[in-house]
Amino acid sequence: MTGCCILMTTTDSLDRAQKITQGLITTDLAKCVQFHKIKSIYKWDGKIIEAEEYKLSIKTEIKNVKAIEEHILAEHDYDMPEIVQVNIDGGFKPYLDWLKGL
């Protein structure tokens, strides 16, 4: 394993996506955050919900996951935000070294 991962979350506004992103980048918890507008359809409290959201892909080291989760929870307005971790098993070594600050 590389020691790197991508965390994914969604939020309901561009302002919140930018605020979460700026906090992660300025505190060096993430090297890169990409976000884009998406349409989500999901079931919540027995109802089918259609919503426009912003999906954030947060590139970081696994050692930062807990602190990033805490940052997202502090800045988020959802009762239960999506926070999903995908470990990076391989990739372009110079890019992965950059993610790790090498």
Residue-wise pLDDT for 20-76, tens only, equals 999 999 999 999 999 999 999 999 999 999 999 999 999 999 999 999 999 999 999
Structural domain containing residue 80: 4-99
pTM: 0.94
Quote the CA–CA distance of 87 and 39 in Å, as a whole number.
Answer: 25
Bridge partners, 52 (sequence order): 39
Quote the CA–CA distance of 8 and 86 in Å, as a whole number.
Answer: 8
CATH label of the domain that carries residue 63: 3.30.70.120
- Number of folded domains in the chain? 1
Model confidence over 74-91: pLDDT tens digits? 999 998 999 999 999 999
The number of angstroms, rounded, from the C-alpha of 91 to the middle of its chain's C-alpha atoms is 19
State how far the alpha carbon of 31 is from the alpha carbons of 34, 38, 43, in Å.
Answer: 10, 23, 33
